[in-house]
Amino acid sequence: MTSQYRVNYHLRAHKRDSLIEFIKGMLLTPFVLHSQPAASQAHQAENAQRYAEIFASIEELIEEHRLFTNQGIPTYSRLAKLVPSIGTFFTPLPLQQAFERVNGQDKISARKHVPPSFNDVRRILNMAQAIAIAPGLKLVTFDGDMTLYADGQNFEEDTELTALLISLLRRQINVAIVTAAGYGDDAPRYENRLSGLLAGFAKAQLTTAEVSRFFVLGGECNFLFRCAILDQNYRLQYVPDKEYSASALRSWTDSQVQQLLDVAEAELRDCVDRMAVSAEILRKPRAVGLVPRAQLTREQLDECALSSQLALLKFQGSPKSQPCDVPIPFCAFNGGNDCWVDIGNKLIGVRILQDMLGSPPAATLHVGDQFLSTGNDLSTRTACCTCWIINPEETQRILTELESILDNTTK
């Protein structure tokens, strides 16, 4: 008999998000009904108007859902009935305005053969979030690999992203990289990964106050560093747990951690044997990972992540829970080229920074590329606003838009 867990895996396509799929479906109707063999300028304008009206209606649904959420009855909203898995919106989303801005750049309404796509809607949602959060933005957190730099690579020097991050720091906005990379309290290893960015700080001659707004949180939520100027060099300084309020969010013992990692390691080894893959199992103080010797398919990595996730939920006595709702929260994720199980998750990491810096969910933005069901950015949606990008170029694009919005906000 096929378990519900395995059935659910087949039902949720990996390039699918419930809200995005809902919006795509709404936009498909005018595309199909009003498609013209030879689209004129007038027809493009009519298409744009139809799409804008749909986004305005969805904007209203989101605002109604926010109202019901504030009253403690989110499931009563029309949007919750249409998209049962919908979460919390910490800000309004000006979707009509965002569509008009994105459509002006990408000419979505001019297309005759390709309807508004998953990526179109994702970029429009990102734009709406940037517009909404800009006036009160206090903290921007970023994933590392495939968000700020290529997978497994280092932050390059003299990039446009460096200038955009420096601009945020100079606007008195805190910036943090929340990454799965776990090197313990070894600051030089993180500095090596971010050498280009730190060189950019030096070249821009950022002040002590400006660089003190830059943080790195490694191992999802386990190792915190703050930037400082030491002997005229821009360095990362390890921040011991006792100097910030992490205990309430990370209340597990080392023996509990090792027990959990034992279970995860055993499950990953079982995956290697079952699928006969060539891979190395790496054990760290607060993580265990499967690193292939030869490239694995996405499905093989998903199998490893989902198998580990279910094994750890069963071990903690909550097979129907989520990884962030158990006694020891964890993150089992497909990293694109490998699979890791980390103790803690980015939800905890973002909350640590929010508590430390006094940044509420509506003033915090997380930018990452792993928002699918086996990704490690997904949990941050519970703590803050998010932007879903797919590569560093898209990060640069949304930060450029954010900078433009911030410039107009301060005028």
Write the DSSP string, 2-69: --HHHHHHHHS-TT--HHHHHHHHHHHHHHHHT--SS--HHHHHHHHHHHHHHHHHHHHHHHHHHHHH
Can 145 be counted among the known catalytic residues? yes
Q: Are 114 and 153 in contact (CB under 8 A)?
A: no
**DSSP-derived secondary structure letter, 224:** E
If you count DSSP H runs as helices and E runs as strands, how many of each does the chain have, helices first?
A: 14, 11
Confidence of residue 2 (pLDDT cuts 50, 70, 90): very low
**DSSP-derived secondary structure letter, 185:** T
How large is the average pLDDT for residues 286-293? 93
Q: Among 126-140, 188-202, 241-255, 304-318, which stretch is predicted with the lowest mean pLDDT?
A: 241-255
How large is the average pLDDT for residues 128-137? 98
Whether 112 shows a pLDDT value over 60: the answer reads: yes
User: Catalytic residue among 120, 143, 369, 377, which?
Assistant: 143
Q: Among 13-27, 298-312, 393-407, which stretch is predicted with the lowest mean pLDDT?
A: 13-27
Confidence of residue 247 (pLDDT cuts 50, 70, 90): low
How large is the average pLDDT for residues 177-189? 91
How large is the average pLDDT for residues 175-187? 91
Q: Among 9-18, 88-97, 251-260, 286-295, which stretch is predicted with the lowest mean pLDDT?
A: 9-18
Question: Tokens 């797919």 identify what position?
Answer: 390
Whether 376 shows a pLDDT value over 90: the answer reads: no
Q: How many of the other CB atoms lie within 10 Å of CB of 50?
A: 17
Confidence of residue 248 (pLDDT cuts 50, 70, 90): low
How large is the average pLDDT for residues 58-72? 97
How large is the average pLDDT for residues 232-244? 90
Residue 409's pLDDT is 79
> Rounded to a whole number, what is the largest CA-CA distance in the chain?
68
Residue 324's pLDDT is 63
Can 231 be counted among the known catalytic residues? no
**344 vs 4, higher pLDDT:** 344
Amino acid identity, position 76? Y
Mean pLDDT of the chain, nearest integer: 90
Residue 333's pLDDT is 87
Confidence of residue 398 (pLDDT cuts 50, 70, 90): very high
pTM here is 0.88
Residue 318's pLDDT is 66
Residue 337's pLDDT is 87
Q: Are 353 and 372 in contact (CB under 8 A)?
A: no
Whether 10 shows a pLDDT value over 50: the answer reads: no
How large is the average pLDDT for residues 309-316? 90
Whether 3 shows a pLDDT value over 50: the answer reads: no
Q: Among 302-306, 311-315, 317-321, which stretch is predicted with the lowest mean pLDDT?
A: 317-321
Whether 258 shows a pLDDT value over 70: the answer reads: yes
Question: Tokens 């070894």 identify what position?
Answer: 186
Residue 251's pLDDT is 72
User: Catalytic residue among 17, 120, 145, 377, which?
Assistant: 145
Q: Are 388 and 122 in contact (CB under 8 A)?
A: yes
Q: Among 181-185, 349-353, 392-396, which stretch is predicted with the lowest mean pLDDT?
A: 181-185
Confidence of residue 5 (pLDDT cuts 50, 70, 90): very low
Residue 193's pLDDT is 95
Q: Are 21 and 45 in contact (CB under 8 A)?
A: no
Residue 252's pLDDT is 79
How large is the average pLDDT for residues 378-403? 96
Whether 12 shows a pLDDT value over 90: the answer reads: no
**1 vs 409, higher pLDDT:** 409
Alpha helices in 205-287 (DSSP H): 208-211, 254-275
Confidence of residue 4 (pLDDT cuts 50, 70, 90): very low
Express as a percent the part of the chain with pLDDT over 70. 91
